[in-house]
Structure formats: C-alpha cells, structure tokens
Chains A and B, each alone.
Chain A
Amino acid sequence: MNETAIPESESRIELGTVKTGLGAIDLSVRVPVLVFFGSAIFWLIIGSLLFLLSSSQIHKPTAWWTLPGIPWLSYGRVYPAFVNCFVYGWTIPAGIGSGIWLLSRFSAGPSRYPSLPIYGCAVWNVGMITGIFSLLTGITTGRPLLEFPSYTALLLFFGFVLSGLYLLTILWNRRPGPLYISEWYLIGGLLWFAWMYGTANVTLSAPAAPGPAQPAINFWYIGSLMDLWLTPIALAAAFYLIPKIVEKPIYSEKLAFLGFGGLAIFGGWTGLTHIIGGPLPAWMITAAIVARVLMLIPVLAVAANFHLTMKGAFEDLRDDAVLRFITTGAMIYTAYAVEGSLISLRSVARFTQFTFVTQAHSELGFIGFFSLVLFGTIYYIGPRLLGRDWLFPKIVTTHFWLTVVGLGLLYFALTIGGTIQGFGLEDPDVPIVANSDLLQPFLTVQNVGVLLIAIGNLGFATAFGLMLLISTPVRERQATGDEAGKVPVKSAAEVRIA
C-alpha cells in the first residue's frame, strides 16, 4: 500500500497521487477498467485476424487460403469488419478504460455507481456483435467508418453514454484545484465523440441527408474521429504517464494549452482532405487543407513539450518498456501529422489520393500512434490495478518490437507501392488493372507486417489473460530474483513499482 507522488516543487501542475498498491480509489475503478480493457483486447484480436485475412485477400484474391467464394468472408465485407473492430471494438473501450483510470487519479474518493460502466460496456459489446455480424452478412450503410446499421449505432451510442455518465461522476468527485492537461483532453474527447457519432448517424440515417451532403458529413466524421477522439485519448494518457515515469513535471503548461487549443480549433475541419476534387463547394475542401496544415502548430507544440520534459531522461527508454511504447507512439504522432499535411496539399494529393499511401498513413495513426500509446498505458495500469506483475515481461518487449517492425514493413511497403500506383494513375496511358497489378510485391511485404502485428497482439492478449488468472505478487517475484543472485529484469511495468 505504498504511495508515490510527484514532488510539486518545480511546477504548479498537480499530477495527482498514484496509488501503486490497491488504494480505495483504485479498488473502486478496478473492475470497470479491467472490463473495458478486456473487451478492447478481445476485439483487437478479432480485428487483427480479420486484418490478416483481408490483407491476404487483396494480395491474392484467387488463392484458396484467402477463402474465395464465401460471401460473408469476402474482402468487401471482411475489410470493413476489420476496420470497425479496430475503431469501435478496440480504440473506444480502450480509451474509456484508460479514461476511467486517469480521471480517477484526481478523485477525492472512491467512485460511486460502479455498475454503470459495466452496463455500458455490456450494451457496447452487444452493439459490436450485432454490428460485425451485420457487416459480414452484407447489412451495411456503405459509408466508410459509419457502416454499422442504425440499430447497432443506437446500441453503441447508448453504451457510450452510460460509460460517459460514469466518467462524469468521477469528474464531479475530483479534488479541488486546476484541471490537469490529461483532463482537458479526456473531457474534450468524450464530449466530441458523443457529439460526432450521435449527429453523424442521425443526420445520415434518421431523415436521410440529401445525397450531396452525405460525403461532407461522412468525412467530417472521419476527420473528427481521428483528431478529436483517438488523438485526445492517446495524448491524455501520454501527458499523464510520460511525466510520471520520468519523474519530472510537464515542461510547460502554456505549450500544452497551445496544443490542446489548436486541436480543438482545427480538429473538426480536417476530414475533407480525403476527397480533394470531390463534388463539394471548393471552400469546404480548401478549409480542410488549411486546417490540416495549421494542425502542425498544436502537433509541434505537443512534440516540443514531450521532448523538453524527457530531456535528460532519454536513457529511461532503455529500461522502461511502458515509456518506450508511449514515447514511440508520441513520436509517430508527429510524423503522422507532418505526412498528413503534406499529402493534403493539392499538388501532392494529385499523386497520393486514391492510393495505398493514404491507407498507410491512416494505419500509421491508428497503430503507430494510438495503439502504441494505449498498449503502453494498459501495460502500465494493469499490474497496478491488480497488485500483480506481468508474468512474462519478455512478452511486453516482444510485443513492442513486433508492432514497430510490422508497422514499419507495412507502412514503407504501402507508401512506396502507393506512390508508384499514384504516378501510374496520373498517366492516362497506363491501364488501371496493370497499374494495380504492379503492387503485388509491396502487398507481400505488407502481409508479413500484418502477420507480425497480429502475433504481437496475440502475445498482448495472452499476457493480459495470464495477469488476470495467475496471481504473482510483485514483491515475491523480485525477492526470488535477488535470491538467485541475478539482476532483476528491469522491464515492463515492473520497473517503477515498489
């Protein structure tokens, strides 16, 4: 039951008190957080398997092992099922779980209504099951990232609201004092997601929007989902855990405010860069491009803040696996944003729009930024909530390298292949089929990357499952390490406990 608090001397920013043992607050949020993480990891695994299947199918549509001829396992249905598993099955429950834990760091006491999020998570999962089942049987709206039929959307929305109410009760119960940076992002992200998901579904489905308005709403949603849900959730975790792990306060609150404010101003406008040249008023698309470029201001503010916070503590990256996950994720966020503004410029988009470059870019955001940060967060929170340790710390480091190498293969293969594809598309003399045929070797490399990512995720799920099932008190393990006269393995979450 020991407590570690960051000394407040150097900054007025209060980081809250983290209980590394099982304090009353941790006990009150333990079940909700673990239920959300468990559910997120379940869908992550289903999503990874569907990812592997769909990337094999686009590579070799006729090979027997890609299951041709089965309608409910055909590429056109597996691909959206994979994307929806990742976005709605993994990112949102993982975000809610880490949000509950982060907000409760600032609580005055244990949370009330602990059954609220359990109901929320149950409704959410019923929604996910109906949604994935619908997509595989061909019931879909056909709108990217809003493919789920309206009954699924309703269940998801209801499940999110129940969980959101619980988060509000935690927020209401906070200790007096200024809001911490992570709280800004979490409050923003929760409100924004409820708003974007609710209104996008209502305007597109209930009284169907006029045809030409549908893409505007759809791509507004896609841009907002990336910039105003995934980004704030991951940054909230990073802004809490980076200073916590390196044991230094965040470098500058002003810089952090610039990062948050910029995101809030530009985040809703960026989505239409996916359809440059599309049938919408020119100002909408121009506004999207301008927003994408200006987005560099908040992104660089965040990057500078993290860098200056970590200055002098970079060697911690070698020892601390959680820090490695989160820092790598944060660095990829900068790369993702820089590439995003580059490929949204009209002169570049001419060659990259409609190609695998854009797919590689969004996977860089989903896997490289969001997922890496959240993997690290779960690796950090899990043992602290259970007072246990990861049974095999090797899995944690292996998961990191499998994800990074797998993503690297996937990203560079699709970006290089996609650029070649883009130049071919711009040349009217190159037939389209021959042009897409050229991508074969790049798709082979992508498949290897996806396979590595999927293996890593399976290891992650195994580690999480073992942690739930097998009790390994931290002290005991370290004691045996010392007895054997070995240097205790400084890895994973182990390092800052005790």
Chain B
Amino acid sequence: MKKLTGLFWAVCFLFGASWIGLVAYPYLTFAGLTQNKDAATGAVAPPGNPGTAAQGARVYAANGCVICHSQYVRQQSEGNDIARNWGTRRTVARDYMFDRQVFLGTSRLGADLTNVGVRQTDPQWFYRLLYNPHYLGHEAVMPAYPWLFQTRRIQGQESVDAVKLSGADTPPSGYEVVPTQEGKTLVEYLLSLKKNYALPEAPEQTQ
C-alpha cells in the first residue's frame, strides 16, 4: 500500500498546483478589485450594473445566447476586435467586477456583444431582431425567439414597446405584439452592455 499512498499524494499535489493558481488565487484576489476613480472628473469606473441586469442575464443564459456570442474584446495584437468596432480597448478583469454571471463565450458565429449597448441604443432594434431575425437579414444564422413576446388586444393606446412588424408577422388589427417581462429584461440587459469608460490598465487602442 506504500506505493498507493505515494501515488495519492503525487496526484493531489500536482493537481493542487493548478487549483491554487487558477481557482483559489483568482477567487481571492479578484474579490478585492475596486472601482477606478478619475482624479480630474471624480467619475468612477466601471459604473455598476442597472438593477434589472441580473434578471436579464438569467434570460440570456436560459436561451443559450452565450453559445454563439462572446463578451470580451482582445487587444489589437491578439485579434482584429478593435478594428471590427467591437470596442476601443481590450476588456480586463475589472470590467466584470459587478457581474454575477460572466458570459465570455467561445464562439463568434454572431457578433461580440461586449459593447452592443453602445452600438445599438434602440430597444425596438433588439425586439425586431429577437422576434424574427429576418427583419435585419440575420435569419440564415440566428434563430427566432417568439416565446419572448405575446400577442395581445390593444387596450386604449398602442404600447410603446409594440414590435413594428410587417408581412406575415403583422398581428390582426386591434392586436399588438409586445415583449413579455422576460423579453423586456433581456433587452434591458443587452442595452446595458457597454464598457465605454476608461480604465488605466487598458488604454484605448486605434486600429
């Protein structure tokens, strides 16, 4: 049994090294990250997430958005993310300090979403994309998410969130298609995705 004990300790010790480096170390050190305070303007960065972001992140996870969309920007020497206008600087650990769920992602079948809230500010754009990607010419690669919407009778005035649809999608007259609570929080989350503040450890880069 002596050999068995030796093997046991070797196995634990060797794996333990990677555990300390990649689990314990980041767990403990990243908990101590603090916001950056700009000496001149007094602004803090990152600014923190809106209250609905955590809820929207759950809808983002539930529908598997992370399978095709990444959420990080590499520096110019590692890839053309900045030239693609997906950000003006690389993202660093501090960018994610307020996120309860981090969706880095490993595929870019779809666009990177790190700064999608900077590129698109109109909720209607997201509603139309999610209801039927055909409106934006994305139907060949992106599925539709009709279950994030409901068709309901217009009561009084049309809702401000009513999705502007055309063709076969048009609801019967007197009805409108509006996002469900889940759909709304998802779009609020997507609109909140902007890392367009400055951090000293990640200077802006030009193409």
Contact = CB atoms under 8 A, between A and B. Distances in A.
A51 B90 CA distance: 35
Interface string A147-174: 0000000000000000000000001000
Given A220-B18, A355-B107, A436-B110, A426 B80 contact: yes
Contacts of B72: 275, 277-279
Task: Among B17, B19, B26, B144, find the residue whose CB has the most chain A CB atoms closer than 10 A.
Answer: B26
A187 B84 contact: no
Contacts of A209: 26-27, 30
A74 B140 contact: no
Contacts of A269: 18, 21-22
A35 B27 CA distance: 39
A57 B143 contact: yes
B23 interface: yes
A396 to B, nearest CB: 35
Nearest to B23: A217
A228 B15 CA distance: 9
A278 B106 CA distance: 10
A211 B140 contact: no
Given A61-B144, A191-B12, A268-B15, A80 B27 contact: no
A248 interface: no
Contacts of A62: 139, 143-144
Interface in B110-147: 110-111, 133, 137-147
A74 B15 contact: no
Nearest to A80: B64
Interface in B26-60: 26-27, 29-31, 33, 57, 60
A213 B27 contact: yes
B27 A210 contact: yes
B74 A437 contact: no
A427 B80 contact: yes
A379 to B, nearest CB: 30
Given A75-B67, A432-B111, A212 B30 contact: yes
B74 A277 contact: yes
Nearest to B92: A279
Range for the number of chain A residues in contact with chain B: 35 or more
A359 B68 CA distance: 12
A440 interface: yes
A267 interface: yes
A215 B64 CA distance: 17
A182 B96 CA distance: 43
A133 interface: no
B154 interface: no
Interface in A66-81: 68-69, 71, 74-77, 79-80
A479 B181 CA distance: 70
Interface of B: 3-4, 7-8, 10-12, 14-15, 17-19, 21-23, 26-27, 29-31, 33, 57, 60-67, 70, 72, 74-75, 78-81, 83-85, 90-104, 106-111, 133, 137-147, 207
29 contacts: A58-B109, A61-B133, A61-B140, A61-B141, A68-B144, A69-B147, A142-B61, A142-B66, A184-B7, A196-B15, A208-B100, A209-B30, A212-B26, A212-B30, A212-B33, A212-B95, A216-B22, A216-B23, A216-B26, A267-B18, A274-B106, A277-B72, A279-B93, A284-B22, A349-B78, A354-B70, A432-B110, A436-B110, A440-B140
